[in-house]
Structure 1
């Protein structure tokens, strides 16, 4: 719990200066002027009072132990202050002071020492290097922000103090309120995971927003986020994904993946709504903070102009929502009560001369229709429009609905003449968007969240596998000074984890290759076997469709010649002779390990689908059954697997099992940093799948 930070009974401001130009003065003034109800202790080495409050030379000399200490002193003094707070029994710290890991090695060392003090005394800390914390529930503004947010039910955390101040300024102008407002700073102790846990059951916060630049505890973040999003929407904008993904990668999967793909997978699997822009963050926040949850995806539109109605209709279709089909009684009611020139089918066009009474007719009919799940009201200012009255009607009818209520959003298009209406809508908690497309996007976000809530809890399975066999293989590879497994070694790993493989044997001479081919039966495939040659096809190290002993001899000599020509120093074990598999659908399954979020599993159809179209879906291990099935269905080419133009469906169950076994493998062995199964040949439904080739790279 973080009550000492968000609901303290008393606060000490260490560095509370009488000089108005000092940051400590600003922080103390914010606490005092915004009505914090508890005891406030300014701490200053020489001042007797600050802002009319008695000052104390140290935390040790306050008349009672403060719950919270806000530290605004030079960085060189922070450690001593934190130590004193710990000895005094303070439970919460907000370290606003900068000069820690953000400045380099010296600051990093200081931050590590600060965290050690916090942990030693069982304190919790926000910061260092942060704007501070604002809590409208406890009326605490322990920050140097210029404004106090309005009370509301949106909880907000940000890794950027500048984003905090910009959002704060904008929100006050727009009349949007917050419950909690936190600048995370360097996240030395309290981070996004801790705040999600603290806000999980917060009755004052209907939606959680976050601006994050990095997530340090990826797997734990996903676990906590899954729990939180079951009851509270979480909307995150994540910056810096492209730069983090620019690293040297040798595997095929790694070249497709990157930090962006890992975060996208993490948010999808955790039930988090991903916002692309700050505009999206607050467009989505408004609908969750102000309106009941969507219970279906059928949207009705009431408009006084045809053009905006068409724009909204197009946006609904593009978003994957449904334009509601009105019940016959709704259409009859609208025909009776609206002018003959009005359109009574969805969208309900009440014509440009409509006043508020006509809006009342359209809105009431749409909300009463059993085929409607949400309502979008469009308004363009006309000469005869009742601007404020129309806003009042929208709010009145939205509030008067019987339970369960349907969400109502508005798009009042314009600005100059609309200010009275916009004020009414915001005060009455009707989200308003300047353009229909933004209103529809907010409804789509709510629909996405509602669908995820309806999904069952993930089912995680564990297969019987031979971990010891895999560990022995890895140890043997490392003993040879290698990190890359050859094909035979990779096959050992695949077999140990229950993945099906075609019969395959190693030949060290042309005659041995003929003997093996005769035993396997023609046709066969022949491949170079060398831990130093991972991209075998690139050097002509693979031959397929070999159907006679003479072809086997020729292939052996040609493959060996090409290998030695292109890589003279390669350690060549021999030539692998493999029963040629029957034709099927070729797929790719791969792994690259994200430094923050863990093993990222890729799936897609092979060939041009991966190489050219980049049609790949990513999920983070460990996978549940639901994750694996959704990953398969997420690729654009999924209809090919499902069966098209008379073709039977592929064995989707075998793909799912392959993904789950790979997930278990890379979870059991964190030393696997990259892996490709390419191709995985998938046969028709009920006929399984075969791993034809695999590569594995271990951590150095």
Structure 2
């Protein structure tokens, strides 16, 4: 809980497992929120003391009513506040004075409606923080803990107890999902509508649910994270214990802020969330259907201990589709041992498929399915099993479903999934599988996708913590460059100014010299050797190519003089307000080098977002980019380089030597260190970084400071 003092952080056990609950604003009129909350608590089978609060007194639903908050017992565990907005602050203040431990504010009309509501929300936050009272909302649906008989919400329907926890910023989405889950017989351990998150937020939910013995898998829908560091800490801790699956909305570029660098233009909010989820181990999904497909898989089946999937099917076509999905999602088709093939050949028809996918033919009955499943799942090369059934006339769907359940129960160390294709003909079999906790899908793709997600989680859960990267650097020397730019009132540090900064971090650069005249340019070129590159040197011109400020492959003194005057005069004409210092003279890179870009942009929620991809002027067009959040580990640098689609170009094609990956990864780790060392740098970009089989050098650099 980022806003509250850590030593006053409320205990959420009374919130989720209350013994005394008050409904402030309870109503005797059906249809009103205060009435729905009260009847939901009764309908959930709450065993503790439930107290309606209404100025009229009397009884509601057979329960004695407290006319005022002052009549409530001290130390109340939970108060559900459903009163008009103008009474919320005073109600919470009275509850705090009575020592109430937690509150849910259902009432809307706070920061979501404008300035006045924002100030009211700050006030209720401060009141609850002052009294150490956990606060859910305002503007929320409420909370459900079915196993404790608590439904402190105004949602319709009572979900069953289960092992899936769900929290959401959207109350409307909560209503829809709850209705769907009740119809699909999906149970929940906890169900929470976060609302405006005045105090309790995603980080608090993750921290509590990590220790919740009733929860096996955690689901979330988020629109924004306001306290990124707290979120990352909580998520990293819980993802090492339990799978966390999330939908993040608002993924388009419509809300992205304009930025001055390639990195800034490309690295939007969605990339930051993607990198944040990856860093802490959250599994991101794109739609609600996939969210619950994965949730059911994680909650019901053991994790696969390897990537090998075996497919047993009574239909060749669906088996081939599943094999295609296996390749697409990055799993392996299990290669059976010879003993397995021989055992299958001993009883299957001679025209069956004895190699994965195992096609046991359309006339397979339940007994044939059972025997094939037992043999295939026993093979040590099988890590997970997918059973595909189509309702042929010979198929006994219900008996086959029972066979799948029994085979799976006897071999609980390997996950078993089903795809019973069809609707009416397979409905009874699906019901048997669902009740036994065997995930059953209509098509192979979501089954394979679920197995892949579970295997990825298995790998991550067994991976040790990344070793922190440390490097020698002269931070004071680099800080002087930043201070000098500040003193001059500039927000950009361009290439000719940044040479000292690069040297302070030991970053390799091509021989470079600032020339203030054409004579100095010739002398510099002759000293470093032909050919050379000339670049405009101006603190006011960051995109050199926009003013024709770069010339490559300059081969003699006459060309240097002519190019120097061409570049500087063109810059003066196109950018008359710019102060032109002269030109940088730089040794030309040898033939065969490849250009990549390394940069970072500081995200408001999560901090520095490191970017790597194909470099040069085409980076914004091709957008073959990978992202990570700083600080990076050596493993992060290794992975980010190999994540881009053009990685094979770096690895070498048609006899080319691979680039020096170690040198390239060192530059990526260095820019991560720069991002950590200098929070005043908003964006930084090394573009291009020239890399070949021998080395990697930073050929151009630009940094933008916070205003």
TM-score (ref. length: structure 2):
0.95
Q: Secondary structure at the match of 1:99?
A: coil
- How far apart are the structure 2 equivalents of 1:564 and 1:348? 73
Instruction: Report the counterpart of residue 634 of structure 1 in structure 2.
Output: 643
Is the deviation greater in 508-517 or in 557-566?
A: 508-517
Q: CA deviation at 1:43?
A: 1.2
Instruction: Report the counterpart of residue 560 of structure 2 in structure 1.
Output: 552
Q: Deviations over 1:531-574 (max 9, x none)?
A: 11111122222222333333322222222111111111211122
- How far apart are the structure 1 equivalents of 2:617 and 2:392? 54
Is the deviation greater in 52-61 or in 160-169?
A: 52-61
- How far apart are the structure 2 equivalents of 1:107 and 1:382? 62
Is the deviation greater in 376-385 or in 273-282?
A: 376-385
Instruction: Report the counterpart of residue 489 of structure 1 in structure 2.
Output: 497
Match of 1:6 among 11, 16, 22: 16
Instruction: Report the counterpart of residue 6 of structure 2 in structure 1.
Output: none
Q: CA deviation at 1:517?
A: 2.9
Matched, 1:507 2:515: yes
Instruction: Report the counterpart of residue 657 of structure 1 in structure 2.
Output: 666
Instruction: Report the counterpart of residue 604 of structure 2 in structure 1.
Output: 595
Match of 2:456 among 432, 444, 448: 448
- How far apart are the structure 1 equivalents of 2:464 and 2:95? 46
Kept in 1: contact 2:335–2:381 (CA 8 A): yes
Kept in 1: contact 2:110–2:138 (CA 8 A): yes
Kept in 1: contact 2:121–2:198 (CA 8 A): yes
State the number of aligned residues.
Answer: 696
Match of 1:352 among 362, 371, 377: 362
Q: Secondary structure at the match of 2:669?
A: helix
Instruction: Report the counterpart of residue 682 of structure 1 in structure 2.
Output: 691
Q: CA deviation at 1:349?
A: 2.1
- How far apart are the structure 2 equivalents of 1:308 and 1:512? 72
Q: Secondary structure at the match of 1:282?
A: helix
Q: Secondary structure at the match of 1:653?
A: helix
Kept in 2: contact 1:244–1:259 (CA 8 A): no
Is the deviation greater in 409-418 or in 54-63?
A: 54-63
Q: Deviations over 1:555-607 (max 9, x none)?
A: 22222111111111211122222333434222111122222222211111324
Kept in 1: contact 2:675–2:681 (CA 8 A): yes
Is the deviation greater in 49-58 or in 512-521?
A: 512-521
- How far apart are the structure 1 equivalents of 2:37 and 2:581? 70
Q: Deviations over 1:415-445 (max 9, x none)?
A: 2233322221111000011111111111111
Q: CA deviation at 1:201?
A: 2.2
Q: CA deviation at 1:72?
A: 0.7
- How far apart are the structure 1 equivalents of 2:511 and 2:567? 20
Match of 2:409 among 399, 414, 438: 399
Distance 1:349 1:546, change over 3 A: closer
Q: CA deviation at 1:515?
A: 2.9
Matched, 1:364 2:379: no
Q: CA deviation at 1:245?
A: 4.6
Instruction: Report the counterpart of residue 616 of structure 1 in structure 2.
Output: 625
Q: Secondary structure at the match of 1:544?
A: strand
Q: CA deviation at 1:611?
A: 4.8
- How far apart are the structure 2 equivalents of 1:674 and 1:245? 19
Instruction: Report the counterpart of residue 183 of structure 1 in structure 2.
Output: 193
Is the deviation greater in 448-457 or in 129-138?
A: 448-457
Instruction: Report the counterpart of residue 313 of structure 1 in structure 2.
Output: 323
Match of 2:29 among 19, 25, 33: 19
Kept in 2: contact 1:245–1:260 (CA 8 A): no
Kept in 2: contact 1:604–1:616 (CA 8 A): yes
Kept in 2: contact 1:269–1:627 (CA 8 A): no
Q: Secondary structure at the match of 2:492?
A: coil
For 1:257-276, list aligned pairs within 5 A: 257-276=267-286
Q: Secondary structure at the match of 1:378?
A: strand
Q: CA deviation at 1:315?
A: 1.3
TM-score (ref. length: structure 1):
0.96
- How far apart are the structure 2 equivalents of 1:548 and 1:63? 92
- How far apart are the structure 1 equivalents of 2:644 and 2:253? 25
Match of 2:703 among 693, 696, 699: 696
Q: Give unpaired runs (5+ residues) of structure 1.
A: none
Is the deviation greater in 177-186 or in 607-616?
A: 607-616
Instruction: Report the counterpart of residue 178 of structure 2 in structure 1.
Output: 168
Q: CA deviation at 1:378?
A: 1.1
Instruction: Report the counterpart of residue 669 of structure 1 in structure 2.
Output: 678
Q: Secondary structure at the match of 2:147?
A: coil
For 1:29-44, list aligned pairs within 5 A: 29-44=39-54
Kept in 1: contact 2:266–2:620 (CA 8 A): no
Is the deviation greater in 289-298 or in 460-469?
A: 460-469
Q: CA deviation at 1:137?
A: 2.5
Match of 1:84 among 88, 94, 105: 94
Kept in 2: contact 1:153–1:178 (CA 8 A): yes
Q: CA deviation at 1:212?
A: 0.9
Q: Secondary structure at the match of 1:648?
A: coil
Instruction: Report the counterpart of residue 438 of structure 1 in structure 2.
Output: 446
Instruction: Report the counterpart of residue 478 of structure 1 in structure 2.
Output: 486
Q: CA deviation at 1:408?
A: 0.4
Q: CA deviation at 1:70?
A: 0.9
Q: Give unpaired runs (5+ residues) of structure 2.
A: 1-10
Matched, 1:534 2:539: no
